[in-house]
Amino acid sequence: MTLPKLRDFAKQETELQGVIGMEKEALIQAIAKAKGFSYDLPAKDTSAIRSIKHDIQALQKQKAEILTSAPDRKKLKLVQSKIRKLRRLTRHLARETKVEKAAQAAKPAAPAQPSAPAETAPAAG
């Protein structure tokens, strides 16, 4: 569902406030909570960046082989474009993880509630 349709749905079906400023994932979670559904974010593959970097290294070796043998421009362009796309993907994934870590660090810890309020002596007057 697109974001405008999700916003319309949230306005009509639930009593959520501030749906205009919400991002898609936050809006989906809020709708699910309001409707009583459980919605968990899918777990992200933490080793994705590492595996993509291994793919980039393999493509760079392939590129070197193409350059040392008879240079085939079509194969070279294809390999170079794959390398570029994978590098862009690693930058994107790194940025996502950086934002997630910053968001987790920004969440305030739950304030400790004292078990019993401290009694204060009445002010002498």
* Model confidence pLDDT, tens digit, residues 72-105: 899 999 999 999 999 999 998 888 888 777 777 7
Between the alpha carbon of residue 5 and those of residues 13, 35, 36, 53, the distances in Å are 12, 17, 20, 37
Q: What mean pLDDT comes out for the span 59-67?
A: 93
CA 91 to chain centre: 13
Whether 118 has a pLDDT exceeding 80, the answer reads no
Average pLDDT, the chain: 80
Contact assessment for residue 62 and residue 79, using Cβ atoms and an 8 Å cutoff: yes
Per-residue pLDDT band for 20 (boundaries 50, 70, 90) equals confident
The closest of 58, 44, 56, 51 to 87, measured between CA atoms, is 56
Whether 115 has a pLDDT exceeding 70, the answer reads no
* pTM, full prediction: 0.48
Contact assessment for residue 16 and residue 30, using Cβ atoms and an 8 Å cutoff: yes
Per-residue pLDDT band for 32 (boundaries 50, 70, 90) equals confident
Task: Select the more confidently predicted residue: 116 or 68.
Answer: 68
Q: Is 29 exposed, middle or buried (0-12, 13-18, 19+ CB in 10 A)?
A: middle
Contact assessment for residue 86 and residue 52, using Cβ atoms and an 8 Å cutoff: yes
